[in-house]
Amino acid sequence: MCLDSFLDIVTNVVGVLILVAVVTVLGAGDVAVSSGASATRSVDASAPRALFELSRSEVFFVDELRNGERVLLEVQRTHGDREISSDELVGTLAYADVGDRNHRVRAEQLPSGLAWLYALRASAEGETCEALVAPDSLFREKLSALPPGGFVYFVVHDDSFELFRCARDIARERGVEFGWHPVEGKSPLRLSVSGHLGRRVQ
């Protein structure tokens, strides 16, 4: 008799737990859970961007256009007007110091295609958060120069997250869309020719 009563209690408890679980699952359809990351979207492939590397608690402008022209001039100087292979381009930039005062530019052959490597120079001088606030900062100048539809993209090293928040807030105040990508350590900035990571905004 006592055993039967105990089994009845266990059965009732299990039944109630199953009922609670079913109700919880059915009622969870309208619950939204944050993933902890902001939603991003792709921008038009032709949309101009201003690219910045944030490292050493400083903001460095990555001059893709001018450095591309410098690479082209070096290739023409060393190879003439003939078409060269990707391997020859990698070799040329490994030997010659091409770039600007902030970055040295190299190339790397990846399975998915060619990538540009921007290595931050030890002598590079960027802008701190205090400098970004100034009306005549280079960062603000580059934001102002963006045409309609342009956006800013930040590559953020793990020592510069506070600086990123400062730069992000300035971009928001000016109504400029932005995207960002975190990078661990001091690895060079890699820009894949076929990649889309640097063309997503939030």
Tokens for 151? 């956006």
Res 200: pLDDT: 62
Residue 181, beta-bridge partner list: 155
Angle between helix axes 86-95 and 64-79 (nearest 10 degrees) is: 100
Q: Is residue 18 part of a domain?
A: no
What is the pTM assigned to this prediction?
Answer: 0.76
Res 201: pLDDT: 61
Q: Is residue 26 part of a domain?
A: no
How many Cβ atoms are within 10 Å of 28's Cβ, its own excluded? 9
Which domain does 111 fall in, by range?
41-201
Residue 98, SS3? coil
Residue from 125, 127, 149 nearest 139 by CA: 127
Q: Is residue 187 part of a domain?
A: yes
Q: Is residue 55 part of a domain?
A: yes
Q: Is residue 14 part of a domain?
A: no
| Rounded Cα gap, residues 141 and 59, in angstroms | 13
Q: Is residue 73 part of a domain?
A: yes
| Rounded Cα gap, residues 63 and 70, in angstroms | 11
Residue stretches of the chain with pLDDT short of 50: 1-4, 6-7, 10, 13-38
Q: Are 108 and 90 in contact (CB under 8 A)?
A: yes
Q: Is residue 157 part of a domain?
A: yes
